[in-house]
Structure 1
């Protein structure tokens, strides 16, 4: 089995856990990064006007695009790691899965 651990980790927590998983299973790592990095203010979930809050409200004009895509054709298994925002996956995960032609409905954590 050839596995890829793709992760989104704006604060580094999910990256650490993804690195552990990849090491445990002998998989490759791929960081899902937005074209524009998040600032601390942009991640402030208590501010309804922060970048992350606006993205999660579903405004299509602020949906983040990943900076790059992964070549998934060489993998048998894909693990996707991400923090939980507003009880669901961050919007960049939806975008990543659509770009990879893997999105078939809402991402369920």
Structure 2
């Protein structure tokens, strides 16, 4: 798992997601709809590649860093699936979000990282 000053980045994301970062967010499923925006913010922080898998509801985005797959939003799914690891990019991931959601999540994550 990836860490910032001892805190798991997954926990930072969980505390940062809201209706402001995805219109599909709910209290019961905070990762819902967060895949594109999260893949972008993680790419900003750690670099690596953005990958995608075609699912029933459309493309699901996640990251590959130093040869390892990281899917920080996999908890949104009720069942597991087989990853396709199709190469993607920032433009495709951004099509899954918008400026407002991206800027909100990036700001929230950065605040939580710098306020440690």
Assess same fold via TM > 0.5: no
The structure in which a higher percent of residues are strand is: 2
- TM-score tier, shorter chain, comes to under 0.3
Q: Which has the larger radius of gyration?
A: 1
TM-score, scaled to structure 2: 0.24
